Amino acid sequence: MAVTLPFRRLEPFGVEIDFDLSQPLAPSLAYHFRELWREHGFMLARGQALSMERHRELCSLLGPVLLREGEGEALSNEAGGPSASALAWHSDAAYTDHPFDAISLHALDVVDDASSTRFVSVEAALPGDLCAQLAGCEQEMISPHYTVLEARTCDQRDPVAMKRGVRPAMLENPHNGRPCVWVSELQTARLLGMDWAESRDLLHTVFGQLYAPGRVLEHVWRKGDVVFWDNVALQHARGNLEGAGRRVLQRVIVGTEGVAPHVAG
């Protein structure tokens, strides 16, 4: 009989692992760790105490850990500005040809139950008619200016962008072969081949389905929590962190190429 990690399913998706991840994983457990991520897209473990070295070792089971200046560090809300602002729904680096494969955050120092990160699955996420309308479409995606990180970008005719890219509106998740919706509230400026109002109205319809409350997993942070998620299968968002108290999250990114993201989590 194969040895597996003890876990329970979360709703509406994801799993919670009951295991001390600071301890080495036998090969069968390491394999199961990756398979849980590949199958469910989101993993949570509570009460953890992971050094950065150990955190990176775990993430390396999911793919190459990205080690570039400004990526893979502790994130704090104490500086204010973008580090504390609300973030609309997005996947990190989605506007590039190499979006991050996975992201992991570990709560080093937080006020318990004072802040959260929300997640939604974009795999098989829409009715067939909406998927048909997006299939074959391309979109202009942007990295928006740091002053408008909580806005719905498609509502602006000419949004200010730090970076721009053209990406498909639907794509296949390379981790499991499932179709994914690739438009997002924060990063999609418009669907190409449509006038601006038509694109905006279709995107509003898509977002209404994609971010419906019953589809959202909200993780409320407590010290010692660590989460791992598939950055292609899921989008994430958060509320404003002002008044949430000190919030320091250790971050590790799995990916092959880096960008300079604003913030995460």
Residue 265, in any domain of the structure: no
Residue 178 C-alpha from the chain's centroid: 17
Residue 25, in any domain of the structure: yes
For residues 15 and 76, which has the higher predicted lDDT (pLDDT)?
15
pLDDT at residue 244 in the model: 87
pTM across the whole model = 0.94
Structure tokens at 226: 């660590």
Residue 147, in any domain of the structure: yes
Instruction: Summarize pLDDT for 197-251 with one digit per residue, the tens.
Output: 999 999 999 999 999 999 999 999 999 999 999 999 999 999 999 888 999 999 9
Mean pLDDT over 88-104 rounds to: 96
Among 157, 139, 160, CA closest to 149: 160
List, in sequence order, the alpha helices (H) in the chain: 27-40, 52-59, 128-134, 196-210
Residue 17 C-alpha from the chain's centroid: 19
Residue 192, in any domain of the structure: yes
Domain count, the chain: 1
The boundaries of the domain holding residue 210 are: 9-254
- Looking at residue 32, which CATH number applies to its domain? 3.60.130.10
pLDDT at residue 31 in the model: 97
